[in-house]
Chains A and B, each alone.
Chain A
Amino acid sequence: MTCCDELTLMMYSDGELDEGRRREVVVHVGQCGRCASLLAALEIEARVVAMALRGEDATAVVGIDLQPRRDHLPPVGRVAAAGALVALVTAALRFLVESAGLSPLAALPDWMNPFRDEGRSNLFFNAAVYLVREGEAIMSSVITFAGLSATAVLVLSFISTAAKHVHVRGRSGVACMVLLGMLLGVGTADALEVRRSEGSLTIPSGETVDDTLIALAETVQVDGNVTGDLIALGRRVRVRGMVRGNLITAARDVEIDGAVEGSILQFGQTLVTRGQTSGNLYAFGQTITVPSGARVGGNATTFSETTTIEGAVGHDVTSFGRELDLGGMVSRRVNAYGERVDIRAGARIDGGLTAHVPDRENVRVDPGATIGGVTRIEVSERAPSRFVTVRYYVRQVIRLAAAFLTGWIFFRLVPGAAAIRLDSGGALLTALGAGAIAACATPILAIVIGITIVGLPLAVFALVLWAILLYLAKILLAVSVGRAIVGSSGAGIAGALMVGLVLIIVAVNVPYVGGLVNVLLTVTGLGAAVIEGTRWYRGSGSVPAGV
């Protein structure tokens, strides 16, 4: 037999050679000094590696406790301190806001507060109305965006795979990337154009952007034409040209002097719509003005402190805010929810006027104004603070009992769900991020897949599951919080659940910040559930049967 190669000797040393080959090696090594010394060196080497690896156990592994997470959880003292800090900061903020003369903000009607039940229902209602009217356009945008995203993901995956498998290097690799990048760029250029600038961004009057334009800058000025939708974000946005699609803006000051053939959705502090709008106007801002000479072809729906309409509105005006000041023409009805309604001389309302105000005296209709339909003034009495009513506490107890019962049954059925841990900042942030994605993406995906008849049951199932998870989210979180307080050795899951639920229900009822806390806790719990579900799915898929 010729000398053994190193691989054979290593396999012999590891006891992995078959019987026939092993005998050959034994005979040869007995006769060959070189192979014998090589084998001895290999055996020493294996022992050295094993010792190095095992020697680490004594120093590196000792001190790592498998269940140390509870030690890192905030003790009762820290939770109490955090609660006190939140209360202190809230009180300080309230004092500052009131001292600065901004108390009217706090006195806004409840239905404007998105963290109150009424506010949420109004937002939901208007969102539903918007979806019904603009649903088709939104769906088109969503589908286009989803298609582009999928294309981008596919191309990037292809680039990544090609780089790994084809071993593209140097110039050829760069050329390949650039070519694919260009292909991707050409593919998206026809669908969407993004322009951004740190200072001022202007679309000059002679220029026409052939499709949807997204403009991002400190100051955005559009004097030219946009044939698709225009989405403009910045500190100041001014549109003087023509937009053939919808216009969506978010800026401190928004001025629209040009023509918009679609609808306008705008967010900002000061919003002025002087031009001609064929569709609807949805405006969220502190001051909203539709001056004389301006025209909104559809409905005008505003959420603001002051809404002033001196121009013409083709359909209804619906105003949510402190004050509606109307001096223009409205072809249909006016619905105002607020503190004051002022219908000035020269105003004309072809339909009726309905005003929801706290005092009848707060509605002033000038004798020079014309109202074609019925004028109704509905006085809404401000309800006493919820904290002084027995009903509120009864509701909270029922809420607590329902959540506890649901949680207790759920954890009996799915004991693994109680293992969710959120005991570090990283885990909390991860859960928050995952929850935000799940909370937003699920309904969108459900709508997308629900378009088809085949996908409709799946979409309904997804939405039902989503709703159930939203309810369970805070319950899942409650166990994690409860364990942080009482530990796992206390009253078990039931005790931890009860403690956690009580804390969470108190937290979500804190004035002013309770709504935000509610949203954050729900989203975090949802994210934790999604992460745990994913882990469980992967875990059950990767552990082989019988193991």
Chain B
Amino acid sequence: MAVAAARMGPDEDFAELFEAHRVRVIGLCRRLLGSGEQAEDAAHEVFLRAHRRRQDFDRSRSFSSWVLTIATNYCVDVLRRRSTEARIFGTDAAEQVAVTPGEVGPLGILLLHERQQELRDAIHSLPHKYRVPLVLSVYHDQTYDEIGRALGVPRSHVALLIFRARQQLRRSLSPTLDTDGRRQ
């Protein structure tokens, strides 16, 4: 297939290949950074980085996976730079509290009531340390191990961060819904 041939090909082919994946790259950057405007800039940067490193591309891997990993690394770097604290995803003691069973409800109801925009807003409002692992898991379909490597934390902590993300989503959406899932 032309894609495989183009992996190490000239610049035009590389640009074409990247173009085919741009929606996924922009989408991932948008979710990770929480901003559409920044996502566009990030996608350009990812394109430049991928272009510079194209000789390092492993033919045995898919281009999509490779370029999305670069996007993930770039976005995590951006978020780290935004925060004065380097270990924004670190093993904060606050995460290590006992996990208690909770009620699951509002998010499922949201689907029925087609309130996805509220959910998107709530996801974008999450702190970086919760939003990034959630997006990488749910949107980018990465495993906890892959997320842990990208963020520099153990997989057990990834699970806690995603768990906290979902808990916080429920909490932030609960006040806007009544018990039947209708907006108040």
Instruction: Show the binding face of A for B, using Cβ within 8 Å.
Output: 3, 5-7, 10-11, 14-16, 38, 41-42, 44-57, 60-62, 64, 66-67, 69, 160-161, 164, 416, 419, 535-536, 538-540, 542-547
Contacts and interface: CB of A to CB of B under 8 A. Distances in A.
A3 to B, nearest CB: 7
B67 to A, nearest CB: 9
Given A10-B162, A539-B45, A543-B73, A16 B26 contact: no
Contacts of A419: 48
Interface string B26-37: 110011000010
Interface string B88-121: 0000000000011110110110110000100110
A49 B22 contact: no
A422 B170 CA distance: 43
A10 B159 contact: yes
A66 B27 contact: no
Dominant secondary structure at the A interface:
helix
A536 B51 CA distance: 12
A425 to B, nearest CB: 15
A53 B120 contact: yes
Contact of B40 (A6, A15, A64): A64
Nearest to B163: A7
Given A160-B84, A542-B73, A48 B119 contact: yes
Given A38-B101, A49-B169, 17 more contacts: A6-B99, A6-B102, A6-B163, A15-B143, A41-B105, A49-B123, A50-B139, A53-B27, A61-B26, A64-B26, A66-B18, A66-B22, A160-B84, A419-B48, A539-B74, A546-B58, A547-B73
A46 B108 contact: no
Contacts of B15: 67
Contacts of A416: 48, 51-52
A53 B110 contact: no
A60 B30 contact: yes
A69 B138 CA distance: 31
A160 to B, nearest CB: 6
A545 B56 contact: yes
Interface string B62-83: 0000100110011001000000
Q: Which of B43, B51, B162 has the most CB of A within 10 A?
A: B162
Q: Lowest 10 CB-CB distances: which A-B pairs, in order?
A: A41-B104, A7-B99, A44-B108, A52-B119, A45-B107, A52-B116, A53-B139, A48-B111, A66-B22, A542-B77
Nearest to A165: B85
A47 to B, nearest CB: 8
Nearest to A542: B77
Contacts of B30: 56, 60-61
Contacts of A547: 53, 56, 66, 69-70, 73
Contact of B155 (A16, A42, A161): A16
Contacts, number: 136
B123 A7 contact: no
A482 to B, nearest CB: 18
B107 A56 contact: no
Contacts of B119: 48-49, 52
A55 B138 CA distance: 13
Contact of A66 (B47, B53, B110): B47
Interface residues of B, number: 59
Contact of B116 (A55, A543, A544): A55
B153 to A, nearest CB: 14
A56 B138 CA distance: 14
B70 A48 contact: no
A56 to B, nearest CB: 6
B134 A49 contact: yes
A275 B139 CA distance: 76
Nearest to B149: A544
B135 interface: yes
B138 A16 contact: no
Nearest to A69: B44
B77 A538 contact: yes
25 contacts: A5-B101, A6-B101, A6-B163, A10-B162, A11-B144, A11-B159, A14-B144, A16-B144, A41-B108, A52-B123, A53-B27, A56-B27, A57-B23, A61-B26, A64-B26, A64-B43, A66-B22, A66-B44, A538-B77, A539-B45, A539-B49, A539-B52, A539-B74, A540-B52, A546-B58
Contact of B49 (A11, A41, A543): A543
Interface in B1-42: 15, 18-19, 22-23, 26-27, 30-31, 36, 39-40
A45 B103 CA distance: 12
A45 B77 contact: no
B172 interface: no
Contact of A45 (B51, B53, B84, B108): B108
B84 A53 contact: no
